[in-house]
Amino acid sequence: MNIGILGGGQLGRMMALAGYPLDIACRIFEPAHESSAAQVTSRLQGEFDDYRTLFEFAQGLDAVTFEFENVPVNTARWLAERVPVFPPPEALAVAQDRIAEKTFFASLGIPVPPFAAVETRASFNDALSEIGLPAVLKTTRFGYDGKGQAVLKSHSEVESIWQLLGGRPLNYESFVPFDRELSIISVRGRDGEIVHYPLVENAHREGMLRRTTAPAPQLTTGLQKKAEEYARLVMERLHYVGVLAIELFEVKGELLVNEMAPRVHNSGHWTIEGAATSQFENHMRAIAGLPLGSTKPLGSAIMLNLIGQTPPLAKMLAIPGAHVHLYGKTPRANRKLGHVTLLGLEASVVTEQAGRLEALIG
């Protein structure tokens, strides 16, 4: 079976590696010259509006997926007329616009923080008075890893933040005093079968994911069931196929949905060693129309991202239970270069090993 992947970063790389044991060959479509995924499989280089190269890309493919949620929706729709595209392009459309996304969640009865669309200075003032402070102002499109957003704590910051972000479509959102950030990775097959991984706890710094603890500590059945229900509602409404990640805030035992990513997700990397079937394999199984695999965790896991630079490989591998994944990328500030999953049967031991690794990462 041949599967095309739009986007050639580390997510595409790990998808392609998960495909090989199932005799699924992946082909990458990526505009940039440097590509983490292209190091492990074939690729075509082209812009996402280069339809001639996209046409060539689609030849002989059984399905197309994407590893990058900012793939133009038109590109996905154009391909979907020629070859099945999973997840459906509609999921991309929803996820690419924060207002559309929040409105979509609300329409399904999924709780979200209070939000308002801000297009003008006047609507900014309205949002300020209706929703109040603290708040987060985000561009509605193309923000990721903390880019294109700012936290607004006091009225004295209003002018400077408007200078920074104003003039583009924005989402003004109440800043939730969350107890912690969680995410759930769910998978829906072509036959409608749905499986969920356990909720995980995520720690961000400078807008980037640094650490995932899986399963989330003190995870209750009630919390898990609620998150699964939200994921199911989203996936069924969108006729979704593949892996979906939903980021949530836990606030006093309740869940608010923050956003979704219609793709494999950084907070699911722990599943490569930490679950019976990885998110990458389950994504491949889903889009290939194969039965989904067990999402059962095999122990306690902590995933740490390697950002900007990587400690010496030998030092990381010397930590018991450390599983290192390097992406073959040129080091650069704030760039995700790899991740390490620490896996063990006792959470306290895993936490201690994670501390050793964090000391190396600095």
Q: Note the residues at the interface with a copy of itself (CB under 8 A).
A: 13, 17, 20-23, 25, 39-41, 276, 285, 289-291, 293-294, 298, 313-314, 317-318, 320-321, 323-328, 338, 343
Alpha carbons 183 and 228: distance in angstroms, whole number: 11
Q: Which amino acid is at 115?
A: F
Residue with tokens 């980021």: 247
Do residues 130 and 119 lie in contact, with contact meaning Cβ atoms separated by under 8 Å? no
Q: Which amino acid is at 93?
A: A
Q: How far is CA 54 from CA 44, 64, 71, 79, 273, in A?
A: 9, 11, 13, 8, 34
CB neighbour list of residue 203: distance below 8 Å, 6 or more residues apart = 181, 209, 210, 211, 212
Distance of closest approach, residue 269 Cβ to a copy of itself, in angstroms? 11
Alpha carbons 86 and 263: distance in angstroms, whole number: 9
Do residues 144 and 70 lie in contact, with contact meaning Cβ atoms separated by under 8 Å? yes
Bridge-based pairing of strands 242-251 and 200-205 is: unpaired
38 vs 118, which CB is nearer to a copy of itself? 38
Could you please report the per-residue DSSP string of 249-274?
EEETTEEEEEEEESS--GGGTTHHHH
Distance of closest approach, residue 339 Cβ to a copy of itself, in angstroms? 10
CB neighbour list of residue 58: distance below 8 Å, 6 or more residues apart = 4, 64, 79, 82, 83
Residue with tokens 């095309």: 4
Distance of closest approach, residue 247 Cβ to a copy of itself, in angstroms? 25
164 vs 318, which CB is nearer to a copy of itself? 318
Distance of closest approach, residue 311 Cβ to a copy of itself, in angstroms? 13
253 vs 320, which CB is nearer to a copy of itself? 320
Distance of closest approach, residue 196 Cβ to a copy of itself, in angstroms? 16
152 vs 292, which CB is nearer to a copy of itself? 292
153 vs 296, which CB is nearer to a copy of itself? 296
Distance of closest approach, residue 70 Cβ to a copy of itself, in angstroms? 25
Distance of closest approach, residue 223 Cβ to a copy of itself, in angstroms? 25
251 vs 290, which CB is nearer to a copy of itself? 290
Please tell me what DSSP assigns to residue 37.
G
Distance of closest approach, residue 331 Cβ to a copy of itself, in angstroms? 12
39 vs 123, which CB is nearer to a copy of itself? 39
Burial state string for 209-234 with b = 16 or more CB within 10 A and e = fewer than 16: bbbbbbbbeebeeebbebbbebbbeb
Distance of closest approach, residue 303 Cβ to a copy of itself, in angstroms? 13
298 vs 361, which CB is nearer to a copy of itself? 298
Please tell me what DSSP assigns to residue 113.
-
Alpha carbons 47 and 115: distance in angstroms, whole number: 34
